[in-house]
Structure formats: structure tokens, C-alpha cells
Structure 1
Amino acid sequence: MSTQTSASDPIAVNNSKVVVQPTLSFWQVWNVSFGFLGVQFGFALQNANVSRILSDLGADLHSLSLFWLVAPIMGLLVQPLVGSASDRTWNRIGRRKPFILFGALAAGIGMLLMPNAPLFVAFMAPMLFGALMLALMDASFNVCFQPFRSLVSDMVPPKQRNIGYSIQSLLINIGAIVGSILPFLLTNIIGLENTAKQGEVAPSVIWAFYIGATVLLGSVLWTVFRTKEYAPDKYYAYKGIDAQAVAAEQAESKKLTQRLQGFWQLMLTMPKTMKQLAVVQFFSWFALFIMWVYTMPAITQNTWGLDAQWFDPDYLNSLAVIPPHIIEAKGAAGDWVGILFAAYSVFAALFSIVLAKIADKLGRKLIYASALLLGGLSYASFSLFTDTTPTSVNLLITEVVVPAGAVGLFIPMIGVGVAWAAILAMPYAMLAGSLPAEKTGVYMGIFNFTIAAPQIVSGLFSGWILASVFANEAINIIILAGVAMIFGAISVYFVDDKNTQ
């Protein structure tokens, strides 16, 4: 990687020698995060379609959140381990890149196999196979996520940190846009069927996952080949780290119990900013988990007007034939979820373009809190869009007929997109400056606890709340997500945003 230096860059001191970390060009920063586009492409396909796939394979509403627990549990287990390992890794491929590449390969395999769960019925129940492939994908995505976050912190100097994470947010959302909308495109442009018999997966979804696996691998290979990570001596010099002390620490042989004690000590002594951000993250990701799991049933019931009984497998199995209009409504609503998720990703991508400049001018806390507040109000407004009047919508690439309320849902997607862009960028920009450079990877992995834990809590309790409190009326759980996001906005006020690195 060619680099430029700038006299205005912050300096690092290593063994009394002043070394300036090079300023990167726009395209160098772009290449560092480009692989995240493909990772998010696959993740968006999963988010928009897993509830649909599992419902088709026989899962009921209140158990959907339990299946979705696989994602945060894998994040909780994988990211700290990967972060710690990548901190100690230096080989011919790089420091973070080996993990990114391995994770992408494994995720691609999961994406190829999951929608074909019915083909493996001779070995196990399709829904069980689908759950296992979901676990493989989630574990693999998490192997990619953490090193990508750390790669930006490694390669981008402090003065470019806002723009670095904003570009990453932009690429994430470009991938999410295409990934979310792909099954809809395959149905309305190519002509693939978007409905599925009970126990099967729609052809449009199957082919979307095939394409997603290809994009994932291609974009990750771009980052691997176009980004050259710093050699250890340069990295330690730029970060002001005593290379000999780090080498001695890493060479020290430790028992598993000692490593666990060391990890626990890092947890207890994490920077104050990290602890404060954990509260914000709890409310934010509690809400996001609910959106990903329950948007499809929520809008199918609230906007398409289907009763909650049409999501009850026992009721469906008691029928000789499921009415065609119910199958069509579920298929249309499932496709529309992809359109809505693509829409919030479009708005997030657009906001990401200006996010760094606004944050530099007005401050990260104000922008972060305002974005979460807008997102919370947007979730709560989902309940307003109940008009079932058939309306023709020109999406430029095709024209479809959906309920008028479905069209109106584009409005709250603006606020959801703004919140999503801030969630992807601001916590990491605020956190990176408070972390010791030699332990960035492991701390970024630990910080994933603040993403995984609220999703686990949400997964354990949201299904029960939906069934026991809201009588399976899924729109109410989306309103609850809005309330949580507003609490997240309030929590930002208490974060100490200082660059102490």
C-alpha cells in the first residue's frame, strides 16, 4: 500500500523516536473496508429472510426469537477470541486479514447450504439443518466483523478516524441495500417464484443466497489483495508501543486459567468510555434485534391485515389447504421487508456520507443521541400505517401493487436508517480513541459483548412478551423496540467522549 505523510498527523513515540503514522488516501481507506460490503450483503440477506425461511420450514412466531439467538451467542463466543488472536497474529497474509478471509469462506459455505435445508431431510429435520447453517453463518460473519473494525483502527490515523468508520458504514449499507432487495429483484425482474410450500424455501430466496455468497467472497478478496497491513515494527512505531515488551508478553506461556483471569481482568479494567457506551449499546441492539426478527410478521399483520393465527403452525397444520391469498400476502410482505430494509440502508448510506463532517462540527454525542431518538420515534410510528387499500408503486425497476400503508412505511425507514448509520460508526469512533493500541483487537472483541448481550436478552424475552403480553400482535413488539431506542438516545448524554489513546 502506498502511503502519504502529513505533518499535521498526531505523532507516536517509540523508544524516544518520533514516528508519524501516514495519512491514507480516500481509496486506501475505501479498500480497507471494501470487504465489509460483501459481509454485510450476506448479513442483510440473513436478516431479511431468515424469519421467512424458518417460518416456511415450520417455526412459530414466539420461537423465532430463540432461533435468532444463535447470532448474538456466536458473536459473544467468537469475537473476543478472534480479537485476542488477531492481536497476536503476524504472518504472510497479515494481522487481521487471515481471519477475515477464513470467516468469509466459511460464511459462503453456510449461505450456499442453508436455503437448501429441505434437501437434507434424509439426515435431519429441515428446520434443524437450517438452524445449524444459521449458526455456521453467524459464527463466520462474526469472525469477519471484529477484524474489520480493528483493521480500520490499525491502518487509519486518529485524525481520519471519523471518515474511516463513516466509509465503513457507507460500504456496509451499500451491501445491505443490495442484499435486502435481491429476492425482490429476482422475483420481479428475473421472474423467480417468491412463494413456498410449507416445509420448503422460495426459489427467489435460494438464488439470492447463492449470489450473496459470491459477492461476499469477491469483496473480501478485494480487501485482502488491495490492503497491505503494516509490518510489526512499523505498527508498533506508529502506535507508540514498546515492541520488545509486547513480544515478551506474547511469548510468555500461560495456562488456560491464567488467560481466562487475564481476560476477566481486561473486562474489569475496560476504559470508562467503553462502559458508558455499553449502556447505549444495550438499548440500541435490543431494539435492532426485535426489528430484524419481527418486522415481517408485524407488517403482514398490521399493514396487509392478516390475523395472527396465520403465523401459528398448529393452526396451519389443521387446515387441509392454506388459502392462496394468505400464501400470496405472506410472500408479498416478505418481499416488501427486503425493500424496507434496503430503504433504511439507502438512507443510512446517504447519512454516512455527511456523518463525519457533521460529527466533526457538532460533536459525536449530539449526532449519536439525535439519530437514536429519531430511530426510536420511527419504530413507534410503524403502527400508524394500516391502510390496506391496494396501491400501485413504481420502483423504477418494476411496478408492484401493495397496501397503501406499506408505501407509507418508507417514512419511518428514514429515521431507522439515520439511527443505523450512527450505530455503525459513532460508538467505534468514540471508543477507538480510548483503547490501548496493543490491545485494540481484544477490546473490540470485548466490546462486542455490548452488541451480543442485549440481543440475547431480547431473544430470550421478546418472544415471551409477544405471546404473553401482546397476544402475538407483532406490531406492539416493534413499538417496544422504539421505546428502547429512545432510552439509548438518553444514555448517550452520559458518555465521556475523549481521545486518550
Structure 2
Amino acid sequence: MTTPAYDGTVTPGAAGLKPNLPILSIINMAVGFFGLQIGFALQNANASRIFSTLGSDADKLALFWLAGPVTGLIVQPIVGYLSDRTWNRFGRRRPYFLLGALLASFALLFMPNSPALWIAASSLWILDASLNISMEPFRAFVGDNLNTKQRTLGYAIQGFFIGAGGYVGSKLPEWATNFLGAANTADANIVPDSVKIAFLAGAAILFASVLYTVLTSKEYDPDTLHAFEAADTSALGAARQADRPVPAPNWFQMRGLVAIAIGVGLLALVLSGAAERQLSVFAALVLGLGLLLVFNALRLRASRWPGMVGSLMDDLATMPTLMKRLALVQFTSWFAFFTLWVYLNSAVTSHHFGTTDPTSEAFGAGSLAVNNIFAIYSLVAWGFSLLIPLGTKAIGLKPFYGASLITGGLAFISIWLFPPSLFWVSAIGIGIVWACVLTLPYALLADALPANRMGTYMGIFNYFIVIPQLVVGTIMGTVLTTFLGGETILTLVVAGSVMMLGALLLIFVPYEKPLD
């Protein structure tokens, strides 16, 4: 069953540890992220525009965006669990890369051609789920194949291709207009041709880039990974291999009952009319988590085999301390970015271009300005990713990460203060923090995770990408109308403030980079 990785192009590491891989092998592993990020960029920059064109009000945009996070919350840990237990002639993670890319390409073809708002929202659901099917195993892929010394470099190269894909995906509608003459405006309830052409091109590039990684990369099989981990006698290796006892049934039962009570209470508020209906989505998820925790308590008392659900609940309860605290930092980052993606188009067109009419010239100009913000910050992230290994080596991983969160938070707020002519300054700050958010949490996390549960824990960690999106989707509409006077530009001020809170929380993450 044991198959050497990379067909002998690497040599054994010291004391049987994972060897350094050639830079070309690391690049090949990351190319697929170029296509995946084109899909995310097209979604992030254009979904709200598509929804607005098809008749959505500004305060309902976040509700339509809930489809993706809900799907991600379910899909990511399941895919992580399954990929940890997959090994066949196609590999361990790579079958999931290809499946997700195929489904995402079909969703990109369909979304801008949707005849109705609910169909476009459903397409976003499928697109986000498909991208997550590929993305989560990609994160585990780096943790599987690279040793501790090379992981920051590996995630930085991923960030490089993410930045490149984000830039290309953000510019595709503009390029379709400038080079192909595609119209950037259309009649009411019709998505412009520039957007349709951009999504068509994005689908083709996405699938081709993921296929390239599948064909040019190889993987260590589970037995080889286990042997590498067993050979690591360092303090870091011992901590990674240490078994964490599963809590007693009462631990799960008490937390499950609390979650059920919260979920029922939130649903009661919605049914009584005291809260808006989008809160019911979050309430249902909290209620579902509570039921799963109670189920796991009953399973443990009966000494039954855990299965997938029981294993996920056990792993959720036994997360390393570093992972638990880093999750809070991850929450603040993704709360901010999801707010940006949902509200930036509406914020810029209404505050800086003075219109909410999707058929107007001003709205089209504002939408292109938004695409340029996305393009510039993706371009900055593209280049800045390569500086991250140097920066973290110079001042330390945590200080570098914290400084980027402060920079990003200020950049979010500056969009409110700056005129459109200075949006490029804001975009540079956003690009810096975006590169770090895509790289540093995973470099911190991978060192703390056992190889046989890398995919599962990466999937669980992605809860803290999804949960903040659910929070934004369920409460930001109410915050916007009740506390911000309907001024969508102020949502970016809230987002920037929350991101800077993450820099403070990072202080409490216990991490010391192992010595060479």
C-alpha cells in the first residue's frame, strides 16, 4: 500500500521525518487555488449585483448570501472526515479537488443566466458548496505533504495563487467590456453580458487549473504519513501525537441542552415577530448542534461506535487549545470580509455614486469601482504573499499577523472616508490582510494537528469561516436598518472595528515556532 510521494524526487528526511519538497512540487500543489479563487472572486464581486438586478432590496442581500455559509457548515467537516479516510489510485485529497471543481464550473455557468432571484440564490448555494468541497482538502493537502519548516512557504504560495485568481476573477467583467465590447448595463431584471461572459470564462479556467494540480501532484499515503509522525520526537511532535481524552457524556449533554434552549428561544423571537425571519436560519443551526451534542452523549453512554457524526462531535470537543483560541481570531477576520463582500457594492454605489438604481449609468460605474477594489486587493495579496515568509521570520508569526489585522481594519474604515479616487489606498491595506488571513492561520494550525485527522480538524476550523458569515447574514440586516440608519457604508466601519479586535485576541493564542 505504501507509495513514495513525488516518485522519488525527494530524499528521506533526517531521522525519518518528512523531507523538504522541491519548490516546483509546492507550486504544482497550489495552482488549483488560482481557479478556485476566480470562482470566489466572481461570486464575491458580482453576487450582490446579480441579486440587486433580479430585484433584491439592500437589507435582504445578506439573507441570500446565507445559502453558501449554511452549506459550508455542513459540507466542510464531512469532506474533511471523508478525505482523511480516503485512499485509492487517485489519492486522498485529489478526488475531492476534481469533484468540487466540476460542480463549481456548472454553477458558474448557470448563476448569471438565472431567470429569477430564487434560482440565482440557489446557484450561489451550489457554487459555494462546490468550492468548499475542493478548498478544504487543499488546506489539508499542504499539511499532509510539507514539513513544519515548509508549511508557511506552502500556504504563502497558495496565497500567491489565491491573489492571482482573485485579481483575474475581479477584472473579468471589465475585460469583457473593454476587449470584447460586452455591455455593462442591461434592462431591468437582466444580468449584463459582461457578467455572463466573465462567469463563462471563469468556469473554464477554474476547472483547468484544478485539473493541472490533480495531474501534476502526488500524495503520501496514510501509512507513510503515520510513519513520519511517529518519527517526530520533538516537543511539538509529542504534543501533536498526544491523545486528548473525550469528555464524559454529561459534558456533551449539558452543552447540548443549552444550545437547544438558545435555538428554541431564538425561534420563539422570530415567530413572535420580535426578530426578523433571517434569524431563524441561525436559530435552526444552533438547535441542530444541540441535538447532535445530546445524541453524542447518548451514544457515549451506550458505548456505541461513533461513526461520522460521533467522530466529528468528539473531535469538536477535543480541539487543541491553540485551535480554540485561533478560531476566535478567524471569526473576526471572516466577519469583516463577509460584510465587505455582501455590502461593498451597495455601500459604494449609494454613498459615493448616489444611486440605488441597478439600471443607471452611475450604478454601473460604481460597480466597476467595486470590481477594481477587489482586483487591486487581490493583486496586492498576490505579491504580498511571497513576502510573508520573510516578514514572519524577521519579527515572528504572531506579531506579523497582528499588524496585518490592524492594517486591514483601518483600510476597511477608510472606504467610508476616502473618495473613489483614493480607493486604491484602501485596497492595498485590504490586500495585505487578505494575504495574511489566507496564509497565517493555517501555518499556525497545521503544526498542532495530527496527520490522521488533518482534514477533519481543518474542516472543523472552517466552521469559524462559516459561522461569522451566518452571524452577518442573520443580524447585519437588522443592524443596518435599526442602528445604522440604512447607510450600508457604515457596515464597513463595523467590519473594520471587528477585524482589529482580532489582533487583540491573537495575543492569547499559545504558539511558538519550533526551532530549526
TM-score by length of 2: 0.82
Aligned partner of 1:457 in structure 2 is 471
CA contact (8 A) 2:340 2:492 kept: yes
The equivalent position to 1:265 in structure 2, one of 314, 320, 335, is: 314
- Pair 1:352-2:385 in alignment: yes
1:346-425 counterparts in 2 under 5 A? Answer: 346-385=379-418, 405-425=419-439
Counterpart-to-counterpart distance in 2, 1:156 and 1:186: 39
Aligned partner of 2:350 in structure 1 is 301
Cα displacement (A) at 1:498: 3.5
Corresponding letter in the other structure for 2:52: S
Deviations 1:429-469 (A, max 9, x none): 00000111111000000001111111100111111111222
Cα displacement (A) at 1:168: 0.4
Counterpart-to-counterpart distance in 1, 2:111 and 2:134: 19
Q: Tell me, what secondary structure is at the counterpart of 1:409?
A: helix
Aligned partner of 1:26 in structure 2 is 23
Superposition CA RMSD, Å:
2.0
Structure with more of its chain in helix, by fraction: 2
1:60-459 counterparts in 2 under 5 A? Answer: 60-118=57-115, 126-240=116-230, 258-306=307-355, 310=356, 327-385=360-418, 405-459=419-473
Residues 178-187 or 230-239, more deviating: 230-239
CA contact (8 A) 2:68 2:125 kept: yes
Q: Tell me, what secondary structure is at the counterpart of 1:369?
A: helix
Counterpart-to-counterpart distance in 1, 2:163 and 2:143: 20
CA contact (8 A) 1:433 1:500 kept: no
Counterpart-to-counterpart distance in 2, 1:3 and 1:39: 29
Give the count of matched residue pairs.
Answer: 441
Corresponding letter in the other structure for 1:407: S
Aligned partner of 2:32 in structure 1 is 35
CA contact (8 A) 1:285 1:451 kept: yes
Q: Tell me, what secondary structure is at the counterpart of 2:186?
A: coil
CA pair 170-255 structure 1, distance change in 2 beyond 3 A: farther
Aligned partner of 1:314 in structure 2 is none
Counterpart-to-counterpart distance in 1, 2:183 and 2:9: 52
Counterpart-to-counterpart distance in 2, 1:241 and 1:81: 29
Aligned partner of 2:483 in structure 1 is 469
Counterpart-to-counterpart distance in 2, 1:3 and 1:424: 30
The equivalent position to 2:495 in structure 1, one of 453, 459, 481, is: 481
CA pair 256-42 structure 1, distance change in 2 beyond 3 A: farther
Counterpart-to-counterpart distance in 2, 1:144 and 1:424: 15
Counterpart-to-counterpart distance in 2, 1:488 and 1:156: 28
Counterpart-to-counterpart distance in 2, 1:112 and 1:495: 42
Cα displacement (A) at 1:240: 2.3
Deviations 1:28-77 (A, max 9, x none): 00001110110011110010000000100111101100111112111111
Deviations 1:224-275 (A, max 9, x none): 0000112333232223289xxxxxxxxxxx9786542332121111000101
CA contact (8 A) 1:3 1:22 kept: no
Counterpart-to-counterpart distance in 1, 2:362 and 2:434: 28
Deviations 1:102-147 (A, max 9, x none): 00000001011111112xxxxxxx1111111111101100101100
Corresponding letter in the other structure for 1:327: S
CA pair 166-381 structure 1, distance change in 2 beyond 3 A: same
Q: Tell me, what secondary structure is at the counterpart of 1:240?
A: helix
Aligned partner of 1:250 in structure 2 is none
CA contact (8 A) 1:430 1:498 kept: no
CA contact (8 A) 2:77 2:312 kept: no
CA contact (8 A) 2:48 2:342 kept: yes
Q: Tell me, what secondary structure is at the counterpart of 1:100?
A: helix
Counterpart-to-counterpart distance in 1, 2:219 and 2:33: 16
Q: Tell me, what secondary structure is at the counterpart of 1:23?
A: coil
Stretches of structure 1 that go unaligned for 5 or more consecutive residues are: 12-17, 119-125, 243-253, 312-321, 386-404
Cα displacement (A) at 1:83: 0.2
Counterpart-to-counterpart distance in 1, 2:471 and 2:497: 16
Q: Tell me, what secondary structure is at the counterpart of 2:16?
A: strand
The equivalent position to 1:58 in structure 2, one of 55, 61, 64, is: 55
CA contact (8 A) 1:173 1:348 kept: yes
Cα displacement (A) at 1:5: 4.8
Counterpart-to-counterpart distance in 2, 1:412 and 1:378: 5
